[in-house]
Amino acid sequence: MCGIVGMVGGSDETLLRRMCAAIKHRGPDDEGVYLDPNAPAGLGMVRLSIIDLAGGRQPMTDEHQRYRLVFNGEIYNHQALRKELEARGHRFTSNADTEVIVHLYEDVQERCVEYLNGDFAFAIWDTVERRLFLARDRLGVKPLYYWHHGQRFAFASELKALLQLPEVPRDIDLEALDRYLTFLYIPAPHSIFTQVKKLPPACRLTFDDGQARVERYWQPPQPSPHRGRPSADLEEAIVERLTEAVRLRLMSDVPLGAFLSGGIDSSCVVALMSRCSPGRVKTFSLGFAPPDDSYNELPSARLAAQAFQTDHREFLITPDIAALLPQAVWHLDEPFADSSSLLTFLISREARRAVTVALTGIGGDELFGGYPRYLGAWASQSYAYLPAPVRRGLAAAAGMLPESVQSRNVAGWLKRFLQEGTQPLELRYLHWRSYFSAALKTGLYTDDIQASLNGADPYAASRALLRELPGNELDRLNALDLQTYLPDDLLVMGDKMSMAHGLEVRVPFCDHELVELVAAIPLRQRLRGFRLKGLLKHAVRGLLPEALLCKPKQGFMLPLGAWLRGPLAPLCRDILGAEPIRRRGLFRPEAVGRLVEAHVRGEATLTHQVYALLVLELWCRRYLEGDDG
């Protein structure tokens, strides 16, 4: 795991080293810089040593000294690729997986990404053609930002490194801001700044003679019923591929462990690690004491730890997170209001005391159908047969249903289901995934911001993608999550919150061969028996304790709603006070004040909305004003 940076159209060692210093947390073990003596181009990297601790230094080159490579990630099939490359005459100088990429690029150029099984973001500079090549892994596990202006181009693993370049402006992209309020994150390829982009997952970029060309090199398969394959064979194939995905991710020359929430996904990972590892697996869990124990998964985590005889460590979280927020906001680079990021930050900090690599269950929900909204979408197809006047009446009555700040807000789910019942399924689903409605944003924005947005549709990109995706409605909605919510929310959170502590996180459920196997199965089959992850639960019934298979879905969540009404209420009122909001110029101070007070007083449950505004203001102070908090 590393952090990478680079520039074309200008080469400045001092600036490259400053970019590296901004992301030193990603690679505390080593640093390297390359400047092309014959062209205005340079590369830099900071390294967290995982494989070939002594020999894997970067930037790396080929035997002919033509190409220079900086690489962030792991290539899990590098040993097999190395044997093939050696058979074709390539000479290696290290045992690092990094070197495989540069030799592979020698042979097949930009098609090299198609041979890689791994999590990666890398850059290759061709010193002869003076061409830069960038690539990002298929699921988007590793991040990559870039800036292009005329003949100038720069890239980095994190936005904060790009901002070391004086030429990069900090002008807020208002449409990106609107998407942030809608989804709580900013979907690729956009970033919060107008001139900075994110390379989307499964994409490669070539920069040549002032032109940047982006193309997609991989798509998940189209779902098709597995009529010709017995169910038992399909389940066996799933377990075999998941086992192999876990085994590959145990490749390491440093200590590794796993995050264990007690849910199906992390428990599967730990179970398979215990099968593939010679010693006891180190596991790490977070929990809450009363009165926040409705969010607590420690009993389930203990059950899994005992079943697989892990070296288990638990940590309790308290509401005292005020000092943590500015740190997390800085590491996340952009406004990002999935509050689970704070949990990931904390568990990564504790795990790093014992290990350098941790496996997680991220991706299991998208792959196997783990969200209640999937059942809601399925049920919606039948609900649509009710007469429209009946659905309109139920939508109007739904406003009387109470909301809850508990972890399982069933009444809230039902309320949103009924309120959206008159909309087409596509729009209904997007609204379920949204947090600020159009009406709420209209009430918040100042007149100037509304005029600048000019009716911009935050769902336009999602709706366009849904039109392009194959399969039926349910399969398209699931594929949308796989290509947006997973890389732009969960994997961003996993990468940046772990790398804040120099910890590498690996995600077996994002193994692209596993994704190719499972994504080809229609979502209804994955929701076997109208159960979340019904197919996965049936496939692993001999692997996990029955008590874990039967427990209801519980997300990796903070009791944030209660905390914002209690110990964090003074912080909210201070940071989101009238004067700071007026000075910022984005929102009407009185509208923000009403929203905060409605939640704090218990008149409405607006946890996500209050937290999103809180994070945004802290981000503005740090990234626009340079306030270290």
Question: Encoding tokens for residue 116?
Answer: 């890689």
Helices (H), 49-189: 78-87, 97-108, 159-162, 174-183
Choose the catalytic residue: 2, 20, 203, 620.
Answer: 2
Q: Tokens standing for 161?
A: 């490194």
Burial 484-504 (b: 16+ CB within 10 A, else e): bbbbbbbbbbbbbbbbbbbbb
Identify the DSSP state of 25.
G
**Is the backbone of residue 279 left (phi > 0), alpha (psi -120 to 50) or beta?**
beta
From the list 359, 370, 141, the residue with the least C-alpha distance to 259 is 359
Residue 2: active-site member: yes
Tokens of residue 10, six digits: 């200008």
Cβ contacts of residue 196 below 8 Å, gap of 6+?
A: 145, 146, 147, 159, 162, 168
User: What 3-state DSSP class applies to 22?
Assistant: helix
Residue 400 DSSP code: G
Largest CA-CA distance found in the chain, in angstroms, rounded: 73
Burial level of 217, CB count in 10 A (0-12/13-18/19+)? middle
Strand order in the sheet with 311-316: 311-316, 282-287, 256-259, 357-359, 504-506
Going by their DSSP bridges, the two strands 311-316 and 357-359 should be labelled as: unpaired
| Per-residue DSSP letter, 627 | -
Residue that is written with structure tokens 């993608």 in the block: 465
* Cis amide linkage into residue 189, ω under 30° from 0: yes
Instruction: Output the 3-class SS for 225-268.
Output: CCCCCCHHHHHHHHHHHHHHHHHHCCCCCCCEEEECCCCHHHHH
**Whole-number Cα distances in Å, 84 to 18, 77, 100:** 38, 11, 10
Continuous H helices in 36-96: 78-87
Residues that are catalytic: 2
